[in-house]
Amino acid sequence: MRVYLSFTFCQQNSMADDVSLDEEGIRKWMEKSLDMAHDALFNGEVPVGCLMVYKDEVIGKGRNCVNETRNATRHAEMVAIDEVIGWCEKSNQVKEAVFSKTVLYVTVEPCIMCAGALRLLHVPLVVYGCSNERFGGCGSVLNVHKDDIDNHGKPFKCISGIFAEEAIALLKDFYKGQNPNAPNPKIKP
């Protein structure tokens, strides 16, 4: 498994001030995100999982739970964001300050909705596995991550391709199990 990383990219953009990243950490958090995606698959949900990491601490985890809630907006990212908000309230932290220094690790490129949500919170960096050709908001369908949008703060950076094959394998498993006639997910590494 190759990890495509560019730390210079982060430092150039003074990202290092806001969030700390190292290759080992990225692999560790992405592996945990994949565990969350497995959990989704086990529960009959589209297997996408994520973590939100603040100062080297996981303050939110999420996996898809659209079927369970009958709410099509319950993507892994939205679930994790709820946990972060809960964490902020419990530990008396200012949400805005926390989100602006939190990294999202997610197995699949955030969709247009989630990318918009992350912009609203000023999350600075997203590390993801495979791209999301159907709904992706970080380059695949739209560039919500970097477009100039009124009231949506600064663009966020993306690092992609981390454990992409594992993320795709899970999605393939899901669509195979769901409906043998369903086409393979149009998701490419």
Partner 1 sequence: MAKKQKVSDCGVDNFNWKPTFVLSDDDTQPVELVNILAASITNRQDTSQILKSLSELFPLNGLHHLKRVKSCKGETKNDVALQIIICLASDQHSQSKHVSLKQIFGDKPFAGKGLGPPFLTKAAKFPPRTRQQFKDASIYWPTSFHEDKHLTRAIAGQLFTVSEKHKIQCYMEKAVAVAKTGKERGQAPIGAVIVDPINEEVIAVCHDLRNVGRHPFFHAAMICIDLVAASQGGGTYKYNEPGFYNKNSQYNSANQECKESSTSDVNSISGNHKDPCACNTNGEDGISTQQVTTDNIALLSGDKSGPYLCTGYDLYITHEPCIMCAMALVHSRINRVFYGIMCPNGALGSRYKIHTQSGLNHHFEVFKGILELDCNQLLKT
Size of the site for partner 1 (CB under 8 A): 33
Task: Spot the catalytic one: 45, 77, 109, 166.
Answer: 77
Using CB under 8 A as the binding rule, whether residue 22 contacts partner 1 is answered as: no
- The 3-state DSSP composition of the chain as helix, strand, coil percent (nearest 5) reads 40, 20, 40
Q: How far apart are CA 106 and CA 110, in angstroms?
A: 8
CA geometry: angle at 30 spanning 24 and 34, to 5°?
145
Using CB under 5 A as the binding rule, whether residue 111 contacts Zn ion is answered as: yes
Q: How far is the CB of 109 from partner 1 (least distance, A)?
A: 13
Using CB under 8 A as the binding rule, whether residue 43 contacts partner 1 is answered as: no
The entry of partner 1, Zn ion, none that residue 152 binds, CB within 5 to 8 Å by partner kind: partner 1
Binding mask 136-155 for partner 1 (x = CB under 8 A): -x---xx-x--x-xxxx---
Question: Closest by alpha carbon to 100, among 23, 29, 19?
Answer: 19
Would you tell me the crossing angle of helices 76-90 and 112-121 to the nearest 10 degrees? 20
How do beta strands 57-63 and 49-54 pair? antiparallel
Give, as ranges, the residues between 115 and 174 that touch Zn ion (CB under 5 A). none
Using CB under 8 A as the binding rule, whether residue 82 contacts partner 1 is answered as: yes
Using CB under 8 A as the binding rule, whether residue 12 contacts partner 1 is answered as: no
Residue 138 contacts residue 159 (beta carbons within 8 Å): no
165 a catalytic residue: no
Annotated catalytic residues are 77
Question: Where do contacts with Zn ion occur on this chain (CB under 5 A)?
Answer: 75, 111, 113-114
